[in-house]
Structures are given as structure tokens and as C-alpha cells.
């Protein structure tokens, strides 16, 4: 069973990314084709990237980078739960991507994005440019959540999904599963 990392891309106090990720993780468990791992960038807690060597060389000099490498290397596919900050990706997510190279290679990634009128789609477009530089395969099927504040029950700390979000999540997971299987063959060493 492929291992899916659901990455929470916001580390902000009071982030809505957490209840959205919790909702998605529940759906991914119901989908039942992946082994799910939550990857909370707030817990991973990477400092701003300032390493001596290009990550492609894997000459890691600090323990946080080594630990992050172990987490990402063990996963076969990703869902990035991403907010949109200033029409782009959160600095925490971009930073986490920059930290590694080989560990991301030939792995598919799908997006659950949220924001105002854009539903986070501008952030997704920016992220796609970066993930392809890491030889990841961003898939087209996605969950986009516009006007996110209206879907959050702050008291219950819960995201209220619409029918469309529910359907999109399952379609996206089906497609991600296909890519996860296909790309696994590219990662086998010759």
C-alpha cells in the first residue's frame, strides 16, 4: 500500500489549515488505498533554509534536515494542504520543499488549497513551478476551497465541507493513487 504524506502547509497561530487537513485525512482513510501519515510543518519546525550544500548532494549537516529527509524519503505520494499568502505558497511549505531534492524525486503531489475568492489556486500554480523543479508530478485533480472562513466552525475547530469538496477529494485520491503506482517504477534503482 503506498504511503501518503498529508502536509499541513500553514504553521500560523489559529491556522484554518489544521481543521481542513483533519477533514481531508479522514476522507483519505475512508478512501482506503493509502497508508496515511500526517506531516505537520509546525512540528517539523525547520529553520529558514541556510545550508552549505545543495540538497541534491545529500550532505546534510544538521539534525532537522536529516530528520526531514527520513520523513520524506519514506513517503510515496503527497497532498499539500496549502493556504495562499500574497498570491503564493506559504513560506513554511516553500522552505520545506527547498530543504530536500532526491527525496521528492518522482513522487506525485496533489493539492487541497484554500483562500478567498481564488480558493488558493494562485498558490497552487506557484507551487507547481517549484515541485516540477524537484521532479515531482503535480496532478490536475484538486480540492479548492474559496471563501474558506465561511466553511470553518471556529468553536468546534471544524471544517464544514460541501458536497463538491467531498467529491473532489475522492476523485483526487483516485488519480493520485494511479500516479503513485506508476511513479514507483521510476524510483527503482537500475
5 versus 115: smaller Cβ distance to ligand FMN: 115
Give the C-alpha separation, 127 to 85, whole Å.
Answer: 12
Dihedral (CA of 89, 99, 26, 166) sign: positive
Would you count residue 86 as binding ligand FMN (CB under 6 A)?
yes
Give the C-alpha separation, 16 to 38, whole Å.
Answer: 16
Would you count residue 83 as binding ligand FMN (CB under 6 A)?
yes
Q: What does the per-residue mask of binding to ligand FMN show for 110-139, with x meaning CB under 6 A?
A: -----xx-x---------------------
Q: What does the per-residue mask of binding to ligand FMN show for 19-58, with x meaning CB under 6 A?
A: ----------------------------------------
In the list 60, 85, 99, 104, the residue contacting ligand FMN (rule: CB under 6 A) is: 85
Task: Evaluate whether 110 touches 76 at the Cβ level (below 8 Å).
Answer: no
Helix (H/G/I), strand (E/B), else coil: 117 = coil
Stretch that binds ligand FMN, among 13-21, 72-80, 100-108, 133-141 (CB under 6 A): 13-21
Task: Evaluate whether 7 touches 81 at the Cβ level (below 8 Å).
Answer: yes
Residue 130 burial class via C-beta count within 10 angstroms: exposed 0-12, middle 13-18, buried 19 and up: middle
Binding site for ligand FMN (CB under 6 A): 10, 12, 15-17, 83-87, 115-116, 118, 148
Amino acid at each position: 500500500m503506498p504511503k501518503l504524506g498529508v502536509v499541513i502547509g500553514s504553521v500560523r497561530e489559529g491556522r484554518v489549515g489544521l481543521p481542513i487537513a483533519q477533514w481531508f485525512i479522514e476522507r483519505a482513510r475512508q478512501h482506503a488505498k493509502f497508508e496515511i501519515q500526517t506531516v505537520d510543518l509546525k512540528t517539523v519546525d525547520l529553520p529558514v533554509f541556510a545550508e552549505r550544500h545543495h540538497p541534491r548532494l545529500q550532505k546534510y549537516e544538521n539534525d532537522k534536515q536529516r530528520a526531514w529527509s527520513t520523513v520524506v524519503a519514506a513517503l510515496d505520494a503527497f497532498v499539500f494542504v496549502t493556504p495562499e499568502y500574497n498570491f503564493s505558497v506559504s513560506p513554511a511549505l516553500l522552505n520545506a520543499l527547498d530543504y530536500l531534492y532526491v527525496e521528492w524525486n518522482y513522487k506525485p503531489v496533489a493539492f487541497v488549497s484554500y483562500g478567498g475568492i481564488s480558493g488558493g489556486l494562485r498558490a497552487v500554480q506557484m507551487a507547481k513551478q517549484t515541485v516540477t523543479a524537484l521532479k515531482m508530478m503535480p496532478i490536475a485533480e484538486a480540492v479548492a476551497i474559496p471563501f474558506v472562513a465561511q466553511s470553518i466552525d471556529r468553536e468546534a475547530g471544524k471544517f464544514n465541507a460541501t458536497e463538491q469538496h467531498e467529491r473532489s477529494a475522492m476523485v483526487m485520491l483516485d488519480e493520485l493513487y494511479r500516479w503513485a503506482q506508476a511513479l514507483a517504477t521510476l524510483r527503482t534503482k537500475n
